[in-house]
């Protein structure tokens, strides 16, 4: 394996499958099997998942809702997704712990870095929910922050497309895919990888990001095995 400890970032929208909103149990089960295969090889996996399939704070704020309230609603949406993913993983016989940046002891452990690392060392998958616990920060920022805190070797950003392109490949069939980029390349070309806060945090801490298609079966294993799929961004 090319990596021993990774932070996998999944979007909430990825859980919708073919639905317009909510959670598709079939897609959830597929992700659980992908993660299980990797975990069984001894790779330590932390996961951050978004909440856009249920509620997006920025969208709520744009409709007149208080931004802080909207962001907390978005954080709770990530807890719902975290519970769903935990259940799917446990159904696949993967030991999993859900930690949350907000105190919701009835459903999840509070996020404690040392406890999270201990879980990883024991072979448990750890899902980090509720973002950073603060409004105005995205789950991309939470993913990079948690990745740095647990000493992950790489951020794996699972998306619906095969990597980073010079334009949206879902809208432009001639979009060009990049295999390797530096952080400076991304900034110069104005490419969208993560929000600026997350991207800068990753760059400053020399934490590489690999963007790949999570919806193609076997891709997670390929990325962690070191195969050249997706796009890697590094210093």
Q: How many domains does the chain have?
A: 1
Query: Please, which residues bridge with residue 154 across strands?
Result: 6
Q: What is the pLDDT of residues 134-158, one digit of tens each?
A: 999 999 999 999 999 999 999 999 9
Least confident of 42-46, 80-84, 213-217: 213-217
The arithmetic mean of pLDDT across residues 197-224, rounded, is 95
CATH number at residue 117: 3.40.1160.10
Determine the Cα–Cα distance for residues 73 and 28; give it in Å rounded to an integer.
22
Determine the Cα–Cα distance for residues 156 and 104; give it in Å rounded to an integer.
27
Q: What is the pLDDT of residue 35?
A: 98
pLDDT at 58 over 80: no
Determine the Cα–Cα distance for residues 87 and 68; give it in Å rounded to an integer.
29
Q: What is the pLDDT of residue 109?
A: 97
Residue 42: which domain range?
A: 5-234
Q: What is the pLDDT of residue 172?
A: 87
Confidence of residue 100 (pLDDT cuts 50, 70, 90): very high
Q: What is the pLDDT of residue 1?
A: 81
3-state class percentages of the chain: helix first, strand second, coil last, to nearest 5:
40, 20, 40
Determine the length of the chain. 235
Confidence of residue 170 (pLDDT cuts 50, 70, 90): confident
Q: State the Cα torsion 47-49-162-204 to the nearest 10°.
A: -70
């Amino acid at each position: 394996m090319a990596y021993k400890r990774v932070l996998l970032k999944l979007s909430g929208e990825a859980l919708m499958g073919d639905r317009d909103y909510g959670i598709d149990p079939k897609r959830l089960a597929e992700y659980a099997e992908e993660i299980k295969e990797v975990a069984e090889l001894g790779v330590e996996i932390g996961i951050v998942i978004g909440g856009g399939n249920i509620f997006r704070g920025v969208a709520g704020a744009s409709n007149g809702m208080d931004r802080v309230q909207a962001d907390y609603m978005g954080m709770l949406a990530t807890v719902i997704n975290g519970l769903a993913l935990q259940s799917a993983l446990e159904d696949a016989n993967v030991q999993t712990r859900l930690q949350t940046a907000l105190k919701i002891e009835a459903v999840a452990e509070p996020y404690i870095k040392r406890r999270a690392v201990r879980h990883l060392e024991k072979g448990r998958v750890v899902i980090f929910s509720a973002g950073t616990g603060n409004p105005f920060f995205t789950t991309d920022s939470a993913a990079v922050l948690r990745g740095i805190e647990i000493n992950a070797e790489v951020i794996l950003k699972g998306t619906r497309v095969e990597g980073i392109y010079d334009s949206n490949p879902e809208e432009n069939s001639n979009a060009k895919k990049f295999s390797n980029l530096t952080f400076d390349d991304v900034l110069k070309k104005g490419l969208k990888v993560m929000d600026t806060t997350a991207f800068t945090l990753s760059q400053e801490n020399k934490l590489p990001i690999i963007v790949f298609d999570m919806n193609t079966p076997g891709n997670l294993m390929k990325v962690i095995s070191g195969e050249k799929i997706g796009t890697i961004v590094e210093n």
